[in-house]
Amino acid sequence: MVYDSERKPVAACSVALEDGLPATTDVNGRFMFDSVPYGHHVLTFTKQTFEDYRLELDFSAKTQIVYARVISREGLLAAARASLVERSWAEAAGLLDRADKLGRREPLSSFLRATLAFRQKHYEEAARLLERLSTSDYRDPTILVFLADLYQYHLSAPDKAAQALRSALLIRDDSEIVARLEGLTASLHTSPATAQASPAAAPSGGATETPLDDAAPKSEVP
């Protein structure tokens, strides 16, 4: 039986027994081998967008059931997100590295890396990641507001903050973003120095917090 980090069955997973022909799991995560000799064996589990998993076991009965847990890219990203909320920076970085090895970096991975950089006070790196993400096919006003927070409250670049807010409004009309942009624009026209606020003056979910929702219980990752 093959399950993922959320204990859900994994279908279409290839299970290889040493050098023999592999079996494939069904919709319930089940697989079966015929005529397996008793003794020590190695099973290898592979599936696209999942980490390979190697399991050593001693086969001692024809009715023996094997349980294996494999982790997907989505599972790694969910665990990384939870690690960020728990402020486990090194663990989050390691999980993101593992997720990126399973294919092209996803927008969520870039967003989480920007969040990690922000939490570690690497503000320029966070802004660079968000700029790249905001110019990709994946555009979300939350990302642009996060970027505006970085520019206004941490990088002393209120003009860039205003531009990020304008871009956010092109995607979604939001009264809070409109009000913030109006205030920022007015302060820029009055005196550039007044446009730089302290982090305590940031809107909720802005400079003092990243746009991560409260995390669900952390996924179990082997």
d(Cα 153, Cα 150) in Å, to the nearest integer? 6
Q: Tens digits of per-residue pLDDT, 156-194? A: 999 999 999 999 999 999 999 999 999 999 988 876 554
114 close to 145: Cβ distance less than 8 angstroms: no
- Count the Cβ atoms, other than its own, within 10 Å of residue 5: 19
User: For the chain, what are the domain ranges?
Assistant: 2-69, 73-122, 139-210
Centre a 10 Å sphere on the Cβ of residue 63 and count the other Cβ atoms it contains.
Answer: 4
pLDDT of res. 202: 45
Q: H-helix or E-strand containing 59?
A: strand 53-59
Identify the CATH number of the domain defined by range 2-69.
Answer: 2.60.40.1120
Per-residue pLDDT tens digits for 96-118: 999 999 987 888 999 999 999 99
pLDDT at 95: 97
Alpha-carbon distance 219 to 33, whole Å? 30
Arithmetic mean of pLDDT, 33-45: 92
Half-sphere exposure of 187 (CA within 13 A, CB side): 18
pLDDT category at 212 given cuts 50, 70, 90 is low
Give the pLDDT confidence score for residue 217 in this predicted structure: 37
What does the pLDDT read at residue 20? Answer: 80
What is the value of pTM for the model shown?
0.80
Angle between helices 141-149 and 107-119 (to 10 degrees): 20
Q: Which comes out higher in pLDDT, residue 40 or 103?
A: 40
